[in-house]
Structure 1
């Protein structure tokens, strides 16, 4: 008997097979993402950090000591990132722990004797009588019997403590998995970078690979604009804290730097510090701190940060601002870096369509 080869599939059958394969692959990818959904924030953070530090990785790789030693390079950069995050938190916790006893004594005194009305309240040009009356009713009596403190019962405090502890544990686990993922990315090194770029060219063509590079530049520029400018604002406003003799000026400067990494959040910190100066009777110091703080923030937010972010991404300032704020609203803290990258994609698609 003569065996004949099977007849080739018709065009319709091949088309159906491609559709079925694409559907199967998409379903498997979605299933895999659903399985690892709890680890996606850690992976996203690791990718952001790797993109930012990739120029440093390439510079270290060219050094003779680290040539062909990817494990050492990955370990060095991962440990550096861990120390950069852990050390400030540890130092802040140690300093806060040193003040815990004084805070406890103040709270105990407030519970037993209340908080007297500060002298500056009577000197306010507007609303002094209303504020003084509210203070006398809610804060001047012993706080354990004050109407303002009745809602702060033991169960609420315990519930808050449990919630805070759970959030801190979750953040610590995310940070740990992020470090592991970051080590793996750095250990793969150029091989991983080349694979990603080849995959982008194969899937989306040359334009897709270029778009991926521009998205990486957007993430790198956003981190530079937010972190570097935030640290600069913290240093400059921290000098004002020292000049006005605020206690714990270094700690306040650190808090200001972290707040300044988010647009328009630094004024919350130095305005609260100015209110403390007003409560101590230092009106001139408070005014000087507020004026200096707003000058620094104005220059940083309207000139320095848009240049750093906009030049690297070629985005208008308005799109940068919308990307940062909208990304943070949609995706949380990681969205601060994802938002400008998505705005870059939108801008590229618009330019290509308009041409």
Structure 2
């Protein structure tokens, strides 16, 4: 009997590892569905507690899953529709550049330094007809077709992952309180009350991170959208949407409003470009250093530095999914450290 227990443990561990290896391509799908479910769990419980939706778990799960799908599909659809509307103008510009080259913008002559080297490079590489340039000759049909197939394969893979994530999310929502109750019960049985409390704090960390990243990102996008409108930029709604998505990632919003400011500068609107950079910098500074750490730190009870390390380190290690996993792991580290020093 004494030998059977270690053998059983080895067998169980081996079977679990084998099962994880079989479903390895779907682990990220389940993780994304879990992050979204954790973030929306309080809303799910609140809706289920309403007398209008009592016993309608499938309807609630379908509605929440559809809402998540629309939140992702609609912005992408708007962006594609906008790109198709601009495709004709872009094609005409590309043909003109092939035949006549690209004229050097006037703002280059107003740069405080580097005017002559930039002008010389532009005249040598872009001012001449692009059909004769080495760069254009390198874009032969085989290269373009290869790039197109690669992009198409990546797009199909992303669509399939998103579809499986929605199915998984629907199943999690449909399981509802039974799933959370069973999970906490099993964790308490295996690791005691401290283990159950740790899992709950990890869930709170994920929920707080989602709130901190998404809510702050949407706020930055809205404020900078107003700035885009005031400075006279075209396609304000699309630019604000792109900025909001970029702002959900730490320190990425400056890329979008920086490019917008550069476009304003190239059109001769120096005051608008400077104003946009100053306003955007203030918005990002306040959001990244005060609002976001407060939202995430209060829910996880983590200091700002651990929140920042968790987000950036998680993103570097696990990609986008690490933005939410990182703070949860930092919460575990903080709990273990607190118990150790007590």
TM-score range, shorter chain: over 0.9
* 1:316 equivalent in alignment to 2:303: yes
How many angstroms apart in 1 are the aligned matches of 2:9 and 2:244?
47
Report whether the alignment pairs 1:55 with 2:39. no
The 5 Å alignment of 1:199-348 reads 199-348=186-335
Q: Decide which structure has the larger Cα Rg and report it.
A: 1
Q: Distance in 2 between the 1:247 and 1:163 partners?
A: 31
CA distance in 2, matches of 1:278, 1:35: 54
TM-score, reference length from structure 1: 0.94
Corresponding residue for residue 61 of structure 2? 74
Post-superposition CA distance 1:129-155 (Å, at most 9, x none): 111111111111111222444443333
What's the CA shift string for 1:208-238, capped at 9, x where partnerless?
A: 0000000000000000000000010001011
Alpha-carbon distance, 1:330 to partner? 1.2
Using the alignment, how far apart are the partners of 1:147 and 1:62 within structure 2? 66
For residues 122-177 of structure 1, what are the alpha-carbon distances to aligned partners after superposition, in whole Å with 9 as ceiling and x for unaligned? 11011111111111111111112224444433333222222211111111111100
Cα pair 1:260 1:266 within 8 Å, conserved: yes
Structure 2 SS opposite 1:66: coil
The aligned length equals 342
Ranges in structure 2 where 5+ consecutive residues have no aligned partner: none
1:38 to 25, 36, 59: 25
* Alignment pair present for 1:164 and 2:151: yes
* Paired position in structure 1 for 2:13: 26
Matched, 1:192 2:202: no
Give the gaps of 5 or more residues in structure 1: 1-12
Structure 2: distance between partners of 1:34 and 1:117: 55
Aligned to 1:136: 123
**Cα distance in 2, alignment partners of residues 236 and 23 from structure 1:** 56
Relative distance call for 1:321 and 1:150 in structure 2 (3 A) is farther
Q: CA RMSD for the aligned pairs?
A: 1.0
Give the 3-state SS of the residue equivalent to 1:262 in structure 2. Answer: coil
1:102 aligns with 2:102: no
